[in-house]
Amino acid sequence: WELPEPRLKWIRENHQWRNLARSYLASITFMDEQVGRLLDAIDESGQQEKTVVVLLGDHGWHLGEKGITGKNTLWERSTRVPFIYRGPGIPAGRQATNPCELLDLFPTLADLSGVKLPEGRDGESLVGQFAETPAGDLTPAMTTHNPGNHSVRSERWRYIHYADGSEELYDHWTDPNEWTNLAQRANLASVLEEHRRWLPTHETPHVPGSAHRTLSYDVKTGVATWEGKEVPPGSPVPE
């Protein structure tokens, strides 16, 4: 099963490791400069006390960790993104460690604007997390990538459940790079069960026409498909 983006084998054979890292860092540096220009313009306009600015990203990026380049995983490198707020009533320099999701953007902006939040919405307001002593329940952050593959990120743990039934559990207090899978540790059975209860009870259908970029897995047959082609069992991640 072939993926279009440059894989590790190509990067190694063409001596592109340094270029890969430099390109990634250059992109971040360029974006940082543009954000600075935007904030300066807001301050110079005198509208800083009426403006909330949010900086976020839609995915992280692997630079070779765990044999992966790019995104498309449920590990920390791929799922963690910047989620930075700046505006009136938001203390500068405050860094929250509680889990949150991009779904929290709308309810947070509504809360900051004094807009009543509708019932049955997705996400939670993060305004309470801006305080020195965060309030409220710590709801884990959920990530789904392809049907049946879900990640649950709590403040300490990352739990992953794959479509084939396999599981991963990482302790971010002792293993922030997620090298050691603890899912088989008997003494952590209660931690697994606590995180399993957050898994979705049903799968949301894909948008029509998007199946060609979907990795699907048939639980009954054990057959996986990518872009309409069968992936043989035990196939390694493409290099």
Q: What is the structure's pLDDT at 128?
A: 87
| Phi/psi of residue 203, nearest 5 degrees | -100, 130
Helices (H), 14-129: 17-45, 76-79, 105-112
Decide if pLDDT at 232 tops 80: no
Query: pTM for the full model?
Result: 0.86
For residue 71, what pLDDT band results from cuts at 50, 70 and 90? confident
Q: Which residue has the tokens 């971010």?
A: 172
Q: Which among 192, 187, 144 is positioned nearest to 169, based on CA atoms? A: 192
CA distance 155 to 170: 11
> Per-residue pLDDT tens for 144-180?
988 889 999 999 999 999 998 999 999 999 999 999 9
pLDDT tens sequence across 197-207: 999 998 887 77
